[in-house]
Structure 1
Amino acid sequence: MKAITKTHMAAGLKMKDIPEPSNLKPTEVLVKVRKVSICGSDVHIYKWDDWAQKHIKPPMTVGHEFAGIVEAVGEAVTMVKVGDYVAAETHIPCQHCYQCKTNRMHICKDMKILGVDIDGAFAEYVRVPEIVLWKVSKEIPEEFASVMEPFGNAVHTALVEDLTGKTVLITGVGPIGAMAIQVAKASGASLVIASEIKPFRKNLAKINGADVVIDPREENLTQKVMKLTGGDGVDILLEMSGSSTALEQGLQSLTRGGSASILGVFSTRIQIPIDELITFKGIKLFGITGRKMFETWRIADQLLKSKKIDLSKVVTHMISFKDWEKGFELMLNGECGKVVMSVE
């Protein structure tokens, strides 16, 4: 089968022919991949940056965001059957640790990640344990089903608090930030403010329904937020950028007693005045990783099934699997939302 692989400990990826997965374990499932989408972590692997060098051990197949059809099942599989339309959680839990046993599989102590720790989904077929599969509602198009994993990040980040009538600031409008705008609006937020510096992404914020888009290089973000909220500050901060400056500005813009959900990944240590911005303001701080298994998936499925969320405003490019290099070029240039590839 065709697969996009990391063959060497250097920049770049390669599409090559590799054997199809075989010899399923009793609880494993073979999925015929129909759609895959490119994640920022795939770009890290492509570039072979510090993160990739610490986590990836070539040779291996990369990719983790996918949707497809169940092709075969192991003898002990009970939750899916051949022909089911599925997407997958990419955090593969051990099912034995303290976190897994207390309904927190998404932060499993001994977690493996698809396309990082084991062979991934940028291939014609992928083998995964049944525990990670989600049967997708048939009303959801395949190109959106392949994006349910990152969409789940947006859902999880936005909905740790009730957003009904709340004012929300989203710092960083990549694809997940754009999805979070829609989630906040669909959940009853009264005002959604987006902070972004890149022209393409500022436009993405507008397309996805942000009430106000602020470029913090051109305007003082905190002063603008205070003006928009009558001097109170926003109720909720969703930090999606991984920028220490954005985090500090976001916390400055947060009302006393407000909540901050942090999904952005920070590449270096950061220094912020914790007493001033968190402790004395009585801030609730949530660290977000992955998606709750499977509470978040249920919410994501229903939002897409009911068309409360329109991911056509986030999926900006649909290309063929064989044109994967074009997809990575778009991601590297930053001139795209989500890039989805059709596996033919």
Structure 2
Amino acid sequence: MAVERVLVPLSDTVTVRQTVGYAVRSGLESADSLECHLVIALPYDDDVPEGQRLRDDAEAFLTRAENWVEEDVEDADVTIETAVLGADEYLFGPRDYAEIFRTYVDDHDIDRIVLDPEYHPGVTAPMLQPLERELDSVGVAYDEAPVERPARHGRLQSRTESFDRLFALFCISYGFFLVLGDPTYWFDLVTGAAVAGIVSISLAHVTFSVPLNRVLSPLRAVRFVCYVPYLLWEIVKANLAVSAVILRPSMPIQPSLTRVNTRVRSGLPLLALANSITLTPGTLTVRANDQQLIVHTLIPSARDDLFDGGLERAIRFVFYGRDSAAIASPRERDDAEIVGGDEL
């Protein structure tokens, strides 16, 4: 008797119920019996307080999804398996989710994955297209469920919210300008205010894709304040290292391009990491895509610092908390490689 094994990654969307129904119907049409695997992939492990809360919510949601399958099967031969994935690691982007799904597919001999078009794992934004690309790259067959999506009506932005975005971006830009300049010099104060005003007016409407109370939470603000002295110290160290190399008659520079698969999510965390690397002399971020950075390094010590992941660990601390800073470095994860330059 033919058995169809289907994996359905779940998230709390308006189309998840339709996706589960499609997975059941399509599976029974192509085989005599169905083995339906319902899984939820979480971005944090159980050691993080938020991870434990998400796990509890995930198990309750899996129970609901299991009931949906039972409603759809009637007298058909269907076996239901449920699982919570990511309990022992951090998942930061589509590549991580594709890898964990591939592992599950291999371990359970899954025939195909049925994807919800609105799928967004954990607490991240919808990312179906990047996930599709990563599933293709790891050789996993998938099928997007043909669902009916409700019409979306964008919420009108109030004057208060617009001002909040404008003011928040002005404060961030002005503060960053003064950190790099001289906050006691009148010229820096005036030019900084002018630059921050131009930046906030130009970019406020495209900044902060998540609510401001999440971006500017008090705890995150405190962690950012702790991060600024660390970044300045890294800039000073890199300046001294580059200066020492330049002042030597032999000028032992070794320019190279390095690819780093970071463990920060795309968006503001990746932007912060990419700019922090660029601010550090001896390194320049050339390209940032999903979780991947292409960085030009001038000297070996700059490349070693990049491989050791100090800035990446600090950015994780700012955005995700102290526990996430304990993740292994790019060197330990084998997530960094030289892709061009003198070292090849």
Larger strand proportion of the pair: 1
Q: Give TM class, smaller chain.
A: under 0.3
TM-score (norm. length: structure 2): 0.23
TM-score (norm. length: structure 1): 0.23
Larger RCO, structures 1/2 (Cα 8 Å, 6+ apart): 1
Look at both structures and tell me which one has the larger radius of gyration over its CA atoms: 2
